[in-house]
Structures are given as structure tokens and as C-alpha cells.
Amino acid sequence: MKKRNGKIDLMKFVFSVIVVFYHFACATKYTYPLFVKGYLAVEFFFIVTGYLFASSVSKLTYSRDTIAKDSINFMKKKIIPIIPYHIFTCLGAFIVFICMHYWDGELITKKILHSIPDLLFVQMTGLHDSTLLTYEWYISAMLLVMTLLTPIAIRYRKVFFTYVTPVLAVFLFGYMYRTLRNLNTITYWNGFFYSGMLRAFLGIFIGIVCYRLNETGFLKKCSRPLLLIVEFCCYFVTLIYANGSIWSVSDFAMVMLFTVAITISFSENAYLSFMDNPVISFLGKLSLPIYLTQMYMIPIFANIPWPFDYNTHVLLYVCSEIAASLICLLIIEGIKKLVSVLKNKPKKTASA
């Protein structure tokens, strides 16, 4: 079985860059910026997470005696790969914040204390405040939802994937449409969860439904050219919408298009072998650093008065963001390899 999916890797890179454009637009006051609805890219990541979550859980075997241990080990495998990038981001954001506030001890101490939930990935439980790591809400919500769902999915996998998840997805979709109206919300508190948590639940539920659809082999009966055309059109429309070019359509309609596109992207019947190559795989790996390095790149480019027009400013920012992400990725991967070499280095035995 393929470890990576070329089409998903490519779209992860594309949508991570769109998020960068969106956050830049929010942090600056330019008129008519690009990707003013780029927040919808997060729904793509939630749905993909749900699909991969279902795929991973399906490989586990339920045992009453070890379900707690299996759930913990499952989540450790999800969290540990993120931690090096998380630490790198924390350090970068902390250094930039100190430099931009002229070593104000009281303000720095307050900011660090408010950021403790972010450091532990629990800010979306309700502890979200004025923090250094605002954009990590997505990772917090994703990990919290998977933590809640993992033991249930392991214990009741078939009924949970086939019956419970689709029903919950439909009801949550309707509830969010009626109460939120759009998905450009993170910290609206409904009495139980932040709206960002609801977005994570909905996306992951939908991703599980996508997995279940492919597991049934439904798309194998469909025309391959037709699937590829539908997939391309769905992604194309969501990209146009994210740029703010289609105003009369609901955000939730785009979630439906994501559902169709992602289901097809993971389908064997729509597999494109040329998409599975080292370049696209690398771009997929780069998507996480791109998302995280915003934490210390946006304060530099949005708060300092640069003598540029919007086009020059945003182009400089996006290029610098990708460059910083490359540096982050190369440093962390280099450290990982060094640690691996040191761990596997044979120990010298004392001579007799």
C-alpha cells in the first residue's frame, strides 16, 4: 500500500499557501487582498485528517485488556512527529515577540503564561487566550478530537464508521449551518465547545465517511475520466471561492465539494502514478512548516511598515514564508537524522 498520496500532498501544499495568504490579509489592512476566504483551507486539512485517522484505526485490532494502551500509543504516533516543529515554532515566536516588544519583562511574562495551554495543545478546550501561537488552534482541535474518538473507533469501529459517524456528520453540518452560517469562526463558545472544535469534529467525521465510501469500492464502478474531471472541478471551484470570487455561495457548499474531491483523490480508480514523486512528496511534508512558521513571520511582515504596495508586499511575504519553512524543515530533518545515527551507533566494547 502507498505510504503517501501525491494528489493529497500537492493539495496540502496549495492549501497551506492559501492559509498564508489569508492570514496575511487578516493581519494587514490592504484593500482587495487575495484569498479573503482562505480559512476554508483548514476544512480540507480536517477532512484529510479524518480519512487518514479512519485508515489508521482500521489497522488496529480491538482487545478489551489493551484498549487504553492502544489508544494512548495511537495518539503518541500522531503527536510525536509534530512536536519538533511545535518547539521550533515556539522558539521562533518567542524570540520575535521579545524583539518586537523591547524586552518588556512584564508583558513577556504575561504572554508566556497565557501561552501555556498552546504549548500543551489544549487551547481549544476553552483555554484560548491572547497567545503567541494563535494559528495552532487547528492542531489543538485536531488532536483533541482524535483523542476523544480513538477509543470509541477502536472498540466499535464498524458501527461507528458505517452508522454513527455519517449520522453525526449530517446533524452537526445542519447545526453549524444554522448557528454559525459561515466557517470563519474559531472562538465562538456554544456552552460546550469552541466553534473551532466543531469545525474539527465535522471535518473529521466527513473524512471518516469518505474513507468508508472508498472502503465499499463504490467509486471503482465509476468512469475514471469522469472521476478525474469531477475531482479537478471541485478543487478548482473551492480555490476560486477561497479567493473571494464567488460570494453568493455558502461556505458549507464548499465543504460538500471538498468531500467529493477528497474521496476521489484517495480512490484507487482515480490514482495518477506520475503524481507520486519525490518533489510532490516533499511539498506535502513542507505544508506543516508553512502553516506553523506564520507564527513568527506574520508579526515581522505585518507589523513593520514596509514601503511596498500589496502585490510586492504579499509576494515578498509568501516567498519569505516558504524560505523560512524550508529552513525549518531542513533543520528538523537534519536533527532527526543525527539523533537516529547516534542512537544506532554501535557501542564500543571494552577490550579484555
pLDDT tens per residue, the chain (352 residues)? 456 899 999 999 999 999 999 999 999 888 889 999 999 999 999 999 999 999 999 999 999 899 999 999 999 999 999 999 999 999 999 998 888 877 777 888 888 888 888 999 999 998 876 677 889 999 999 999 999 999 999 999 999 999 999 999 999 999 999 999 899 999 999 888 899 999 999 999 999 999 999 999 989 989 999 999 999 999 999 999 999 877 778 999 999 999 999 999 999 999 998 999 999 999 999 999 999 999 999 988 887 777 888 999 999 999 999 999 999 999 999 998 988 888 887 766 555 4
The span from the CA of 116 to the CA of 207, in Å, is: 30
pLDDT for res 352:
40
Phi, psi (5° rounding) for residue 330?
Answer: -65, -40
CB 265 within 8 A of CB 238: no
Cell of 309: 504596495
pTM: 0.94
The span from the CA of 194 to the CA of 203, in Å, is: 15
pLDDT for res 348:
61
pLDDT for res 1:
44
